[in-house]
Amino acid sequence: MTARTETLIPKIGVITDVRQDTPDIKTFRVVTPDGVKAFDHRPGQCAMLSIPGVGEAMFSITSSPTNTEYMEFSIKKCGCVTEWLHQAEVGQQITIRGPYGNPFPVDDAFVGKNMLFIAGGVGLAPLRSVINYCRHYRDRYGKIDIVYGSRSKDDLLDYKEIIEEWSTDAGVNVHLTIDREQEGWDGHVGFVPNYVKELGFDTDKVAVLCGPPIMIKFTLQGLIELGFDKTQVYTTLELRMKCGVGKCGRCNVGAKYVCKDGPVFRCDELDELPSEY
Amino acid sequence: MRKCSIAKQDLIFLEIAKSKSLYMPVDTAEGKAKYQKWQPGKAYSNALTTVKSPKEFFFPQTEEMMSFKTAGKTIEIVDTRSETEDFVVFGVRACDAKSFDILDRVFLTDPVDSFYAARREHGVIVTMACTRPSETCFCGTFDIDAADPAGDVTTWKTEDSLYFRANTEKGEGFMASIESLTEECDCTAVEAQQAKTREIMKKLPLANVKADAFGGGKTKQYFDDPAWASLSESCLGCGTCTFVCPTCQCYDIKDFNTGRGVIRFRCWDSCMYSDFTLMAHGNNRNSQKERFRQRFMHKLVYYPENNDGIFGCVGCGRCLKGCPISMNIVKVMKTLGGDK
């Protein structure tokens, strides 16, 4: 049989660590059975994970490409595949294929810029890859601000890493917020879009947004009010996907396929697309 | 150009079938034409169109992609594909032949879909010129000449003869295999038939349907058109249009537990279905209006935008015949395009 370069046929991955991050989000560490990364990726790219008989779904790769040992996926329990993954134990094999989509322009448009990352809930998962990439190549970027909000303290993803690593980095400012007052929380309380406006950032930055669609919408509005131009703001979209290579026909927004032309879009590019995402 | 007498038609089929599987439209008991594998005794149907398009020779309605063996926590992926057979599809109409170009641009662009590519490589397309186009035909809208279809080999059938013209290297190979049954000839009879067919084409009820109002870059112009609501109002979301469409290429990938293991297969899907874009956290095309709009915007705006202005429709007319509420792309083009 002739050699085929396959895009739809996955590789085997092994879950080597499971971390319960929040009540409904777990972070899975995945390598091949040989103990290496299944493939290289760029920050913001995605991978298709599947469990035979359950289904296949697209997830953003939350670990940075600078992690040479393994890939990580932060996954919220909300559907068939994710529920199955949440009961999986260390040693469980899954299938993995990718990487898919366009990454954040970390090596061009972001270079030399002050960075503002804004995430809501599990929306931190795709941004963690970029944040850790920027932290790894710290001297390539200016000041880094991270605004992250969730429903409660317990729902903050990667809390330990944020507190112990991100917050202690020179030139990195972390601004956390939760939706409602909570015992044991003396930080900011309120929704992300309002918090961003309260913080009142200078516009000498590139902003990267990810979160629930409603959060993205209002945060973008807030940034515009602060004087940001849409060409300075990036986000990453998520729609249903089956193939990951722009052929199965379901993740399009207008003539663009999120899996192949996205998932990363600059907000002025989104203006060119119909509001069907 | 070469020809043989009609009396030799079955001898030609027999010769081809010696080395390759041969498929062609055959009349069914219900009075419809369907592609079937030819064997002595089966008669080639002169019907204008088949119920389903021949796209399934390259993009089958269902195909197994792989299977899995699971034991405890381990998984093994098994490549279950066998070698693709060499085959000939005979009697493909001009519209359907054009649909392969449209599908090629999806499946053969990087990253190449190896399942589709293997079939495309192994298949020879032999087209048949139309002589009696029907009232639902509008291939002319997309600059397709029903009297001169593409394909590896083009054939014309007159009252007494079958004419052949090879268009590709594969087609030359095909002609070589039937050389002893055919003889060199001039184009006079074919040209006469073509002139007649083109005259009929001009008089068809849909001869003047124009797609000029559509094309890439027109998303903003049409996406929010209020007419989508009335056009889609009666759509049942049955997906018939997508299943009979030669250019619809959306697919689903699913797993099935056979009881002895899990197989992963690909099957045709439809953007007209409510679960097509359904995710755990919501659906970005919640109403039938949005799904209906997606199908036509894809064919008339999105596809051309990504494919040098080529439309994702070939005017075969199957959706006109098949839709239970008589809604179709011609009505959509006429309504949105201004000819109301």
Binned at pLDDT 50, 70 and 90, residue A275 comes out as: confident
Tell me the CATH class for A11-100. mainly beta
A184 touches chain B (CB under 8 A): no
Return the bridge partners of A124, or none.
none
Is the bond preceding residue A263 a cis peptide, omega within 30 degrees? yes
DSSP states of B194-244: HHHHHHHHHHSTTTT---TT--TT-HHHHHT-THHHHHHTT-----HHHHH
Q: Are A78 and B271 within 8 A, CB to CB? A: no
- What gap in Å lies between CA A133 and CA A140, rounded to an integer? 10
A263 touches chain B (CB under 8 A): no
- What gap in Å lies between CA B250 and CA B304, rounded to an integer? 16
Q: What are phi and psi of B234, to 5 degrees?
A: -95, 0
The CATH code for residues A114-236 is 3.40.50.80
* Chain B hits for A247, Cβ within 8 Å: 106-107, 113, 249, 251
Name which of A52, A242, A255 is nearest B219 (Cβ-Cβ). Answer: A255
A96 touches chain B (CB under 8 A): no
Q: Are A250 and B250 within 8 A, CB to CB? A: yes
* Chain A hits for B255, Cβ within 8 Å: 50, 52-56
Residue B295 reports pLDDT greater than 60: yes
Q: Pick A72 or B110 by higher pLDDT.
A: A72
Per-residue DSSP letter, B55: G
- What gap in Å lies between CA A67 and CA B101, rounded to an integer? 43
Residue B63 reports pLDDT greater than 80: yes
Name which of A5, A94, A250 is nearest B277 (Cβ-Cβ). Answer: A250
pLDDT tens, A221-273?
999 999 999 999 999 998 999 999 999 999 999 999 999 999 999 999 998 89
Task: List, in sequence order, every beta strand (DSSP E) within B235-297.
Answer: 251-257, 262-268, 278-279, 282-283
DSSP states of A79-101: SHHHHHHHT--TT-EEEEEEEES
B197: left (phi over 0), alpha (psi -120 to 50) or beta: alpha
A90 touches chain B (CB under 8 A): no
* Chain A hits for B79, Cβ within 8 Å: 9
Kindly give, in sequence order, each residue whose CB lies less than 8 Å from that of residue B283, ignoring residues fewer than 6 positions away: B274, B277
Task: Give domain limits for chain B.
Answer: 2-203, 219-336
Q: Per the structure block, which two tokens stand in for A1?
A: 């049989």
Binned at pLDDT 50, 70 and 90, residue B84 comes out as: confident
What pTM, to 2 d.p., does this model score? 0.92
Residue A65 reports pLDDT greater than 90: yes
pLDDT tens, B198-242?
999 999 999 999 999 999 999 999 999 999 999 999 999 999 999
Q: Are B114 and A4 within 8 A, CB to CB? A: yes
Q: pLDDT value at position B151?
A: 97
pLDDT tens, B113-168?
999 999 999 999 999 999 999 999 999 999 999 999 999 999 999 999 999 999 99
Is the bond preceding residue A274 a cis peptide, omega within 30 degrees? no
- What gap in Å lies between CA B329 and CA B315, rounded to an integer? 9
Reading across the β-sheet that carries A11-22, which strands appear in turn?
A55-60, A46-51, A93-100, A11-22, A25-31, A71-76
Q: pLDDT value at position A5?
A: 55
Picking from A5, A7, A8 by the largest number of B CB atoms within 10 A of its own CB, the best residue to mutate is A8
Task: Give domain limits for chain A.
Answer: 11-100, 114-236
Binned at pLDDT 50, 70 and 90, residue A6 comes out as: confident
Q: Are B68 and A243 within 8 A, CB to CB? A: no
Minimal CA separation from B150 to chain A, in Å: 24
Q: pLDDT value at position B339?
A: 54
Kindly give, in sequence order, each residue whose CB lies less than 8 Å from that of residue B4, ignoring residues fewer than 6 positions away: B12, B161, B162, B164, B178, B181, B182, B183
Picking from A25, A59, A252, A257 by the largest number of B CB atoms within 10 A of its own CB, the best residue to mutate is A252
The rounded percent of chain B whose pLDDT value lies above 90 is 94
Binned at pLDDT 50, 70 and 90, residue B340 comes out as: very low
Question: How many C-alpha atoms does B209 have within 13 Å on its Cβ side?
Answer: 27
pLDDT tens, A136-156?
999 999 999 999 999 999 999
A242 touches chain B (CB under 8 A): yes
Binned at pLDDT 50, 70 and 90, residue A2 comes out as: very low
Q: What are phi and psi of B208, to 5 degrees?
A: -100, 15
CB B272 within 8 A of CB B241: yes
Return the bridge partners of B87, or none.
B21, B123
Please state the separation of Cα B182 from the chain's center in Å.
29
- What gap in Å lies between CA B6 and CA B327, rounded to an integer? 40
Minimal CA separation from A143 to chain B, in Å: 34
Binned at pLDDT 50, 70 and 90, residue B3 comes out as: very high
